[in-house]
Amino acid sequence: MKVAIVTGAAQGIGRRTAEVLAAAGYALALLDVQPCEATLAQVRAQNVEAQELLGDISDEAVVTNAVQAVRKRWGRADVLVNNAGISFIAPAETVEAKAFLRVLQVNLLAPFLLSKAFGAMMLEQRSGSIVNVASVAGLVGIADRSAYNASKHGLIGLTRTLAAEWGGRGVRSNAVCPGWVKTEMDVADQAGGGYNDADIEGVNPMGRFAMPQDIAQAILFLADSERSGFINGQALAVDGGRRVAAVRAHRPAHWPVAGRHCLQGQKCLCLFSSRHIDPDQRSVIRHLLHVFALPSIVSHREPDLGGQLLRRRTAVSNSNLHGICWWWYEVRNRVEGAPQAFRAGCAA
């Protein structure tokens, strides 16, 4: 019997991962700060052994007790899924040290403690797989998430370090890096008003959020030595292609008609969002124009006003700049019938 330890198992990615691992025949130790009754019911319905272990995994004593419980019941640990984590969204200049530290404790210190403790069991066996649930926020920078980004960058660094140290001793270490996932954490983050579903769906080439099932299947792949036995030290992005997509393969139906188009025969940088960049960010816009060798930037916010008015509103003097928004979605080379007023604005 193979044994998997899953943290943050009460909900979201952790719960679905536990269910997927149970279907694959793993016995399960489920760790969380909140009860895992629903998860336990689902996995036990699949006729696998499961045990709930409650506590704050950033506390080394809690981790030690969990290791003792797993060793006593099963005598081995084959897979560790470090999934538990917390989100924290705030401008960097407003983040207090206490809040920053708490994110690091849960998102980085806890995976280290668990990897150290259960990794020792795996090293004794000379076999095992550690799968850390990091984030695309550990691969790039995302605004207003200084603590979260730092924790996930650190988690990927830990993943690679353990891979280098333990790979030759039979223990693999990899990370899964989800994009935005439709979970309870996403609901809580959206409640803060920083983004909505359309913001995420609009920038993803696949036009949707990830679901817990998407991440759980990637975790199962990395956990299984038969499928991924020579994969070690990798950070697997499971984000629908968002991180690497420079050009959208398709557009969502809700995009405004005018915002889909550029002036006939020109290239332009198309931006779609809910607010304008502040005037003091004009240097960034000019830089984008230079980097992409584009004659214009178009906006969907108020295309009927034309480029001249948008230039006045944003106090940007570049005569080729016809409107600015917060981020860009796609580069397009042709127009499919933008409104006359919009074309006139672009031609101003």
As given in the structure block, the two tokens for residue 283 are 């240097």
Q: Pick the catalytic residue: 26, 148, 195, 329?
A: 148
The amino acid at residue 243 is: R
Which residues contact residue 38 at a Cβ distance below 8 angstroms, ignoring those fewer than 6 apart? 10, 11, 15
Residue 310: which of 288, 325, 295 has the closest Cα? 325
Cα–Cα distance for residue pair 273/242, rounded to 1 Å: 16
**Whether residue 329 lies in the annotated active site:** no
Which residues contact residue 215 at a Cβ distance below 8 angstroms, ignoring those fewer than 6 apart? 13, 16, 17, 133, 176, 178, 181, 238
Total residue length of the chain: 348
Pair 35, 12: CB distance under 8 Å: no
DSSP output for 95-126: --HHHHHHHHIIIIIHHHHHHHHHHHHHHHHT
**Annotated catalytic sites, by residue?**
148
